[in-house]
Structure 1
Amino acid sequence: MSPEELWNRYSAIWSAPAERRGGELMACLADDATYCDPNGLVEGREALSGYMGGFQESAPGCTFRINSVAHHNGRSLSNWQMLGPDGSALQDGTSFGELSDDGRLRTITGFFFS
């Protein structure tokens, strides 16, 4: 999948129900994937799925919109917005990713802006 498709599919997982997250994470993330944001480091798809579940509890009904994607040489950058249940923009951010040889995300680092 293209980097744009990858980031859009990955961002949708953040609002997906638990029973759908596993397969989607497998499609988007390498086996040794890590996720890091200002709240800490998460290693592995199962741990990230749990982290996403915690996000859903703390921000019910929120979704993400990818505004732009840039990529080169196995690295990718996405600019996104977190949207509230009413579609209003609540937060802006940028996520940096390194891709595995098969094109899935190996590392993701999220940066949040007010």
Structure 2
Amino acid sequence: MARGMDIEDVDTVINYDTPSYVKTYVHRAGRTARAGKEGQCYSILATGEVSRFHKMRKKAEDPERVAVHSVDQEKLKENVESFSIALTKLKKTLKEEKQRAYW
């Protein structure tokens, strides 16, 4: 997604790549909280990203609002195909939207 896009009724954001800066994380998570609404933001982290994420999280205004959960690796493996299909569809949709924007 390009910066500046305002998509209505977003109630969930999923970060597939960890933001490097807390400001970026808050900006992404804030996409779920438009017009007084609440939402959820999930970040999928590789083992090597966890420490950096915790350091970034501590810099947030209210770090305790960012709950941390671990997911069983076997559960993730069960969903790899679904994730791959969803990402392929997303890439296709973004490409189509980009092409429409240039017309």
TM-score normalised by structure 1 residue count = 0.24
Q: Tell me which protein shows more strand as a share of its residues.
A: 1
TM-score normalised by structure 2 residue count = 0.25
Q: Tell me which protein shows more helix as a share of its residues.
A: 2
Instruction: From the CA coordinates, give the structure whose radius of gyration is larger.
Output: 2
